[in-house]
């Protein structure tokens, strides 16, 4: 069983939480400019890492807040917990973020271009 430390409520058992899957998947700003394959990458393809993995959790049976977690999926060890909208600070977390194929994907580039207004 996972023991997750909610940033607001403290350590709780995993059945108080709802899993949100891979973190940092940005919605493309102008989907009509993406091909079907690029859209499928955003919609369906997942990192599914064996090792440090960035994921979202919600304390659904508690404060109902969302937050991000760096967890090693091979050992279930929780390495770092950080707020929504932020990036990981641990070495494992940074490596997992930068090493994700999604950083180079057309969908993410499209999303970032939309956010900066260019």
Partner 1 sequence: MKGSANGMRALRGGASRYSIFALARNALSYHENWQKAWRSPEPKPEYDVIIVGGGGHGLATAYYLASVHGVRNIAVVEKGWIGGGNTGRNTTIIRSNYLWDESAGIYEHALKLWEGMSQELNFNVMFSQRGVLTLAHSEHELKEMRRRVEAIRLNGIDSEVMSPAQIKQLVPIIDTNPGIRYPVMGGFIQRRGGTARHDAVAWGYARAADDLGVDIIQNCEVTGILRDGGKVTGIETSRGTIKAKKVGVVTAGHSGVVASMAGLNLPIDSRPLQALVSEPIKPCIDTVVMSNAVHMYISQSDKGELVFGAGVDSYNSYSQRGSIPTVESLLAAAVELYPIVSRLRVLRTWGGIVDTCPDASPIISKTPVDGLYFNCGWGTGGFKATPGSGHVFADLIARDEPNAIAAPFSLKRFETGYLIDEHGAAGVAH
Site of interaction with partner 1 (CB under 8 A): 1-2, 13-15, 18-19, 21, 36-37, 39-41, 43-50, 53, 55, 73-76, 101
Query: How many whole angstroms separate alpha carbon 4 and alpha carbon 66?
Result: 13
CA distance 9 to 81: 13
- The smaller minimum CB distance to partner 1, of residues 55 and 112, is found at 55
SS3 of 89, please? coil
Q: Which is nearer to partner 1, 5 or 15 (CB)?
A: 15
User: How far, in Å, CA of 109 to CA of 63, rounded?
Assistant: 33
Please report how close the Cβ of residue 102 comes to partner 1 at its closest, in angstroms: 9
22, β-bridge pairs: 55
For the CB of residue 72, give the shortest distance to partner 1 in the complex, in Å: 9
Output 36 or 85, the one with its CB closest to partner 1: 36
Q: Are 47 and 90 in contact (CB under 8 A)?
A: no
**What minimum distance in Å lies between the beta carbon of 7 and partner 1?**
18
């Amino acid at each position: 069983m996972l023991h997750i430390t909610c940033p607001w409520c403290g350590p709780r058992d995993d059945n108080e939480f709802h899993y949100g899957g891979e973190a940092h998947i940005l919605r493309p700003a102008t989907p009509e400019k993406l091909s079907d394959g690029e859209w499928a990458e955003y919609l369906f393809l997942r990192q599914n890492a064996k090792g440090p993995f960035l994921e979202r959790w919600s304390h659904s049976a508690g404060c109902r807040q969302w937050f991000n977690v760096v967890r090693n999926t091979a050992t279930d060890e929780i390495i770092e917990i950080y707020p929504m909208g932020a990036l990981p600070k641990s070495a494992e977390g940074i490596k997992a973020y930068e090493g994700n194929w999604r950083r180079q994907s057309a969908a993410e580039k499209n999303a970032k271009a939309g956010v900066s207004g260019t």
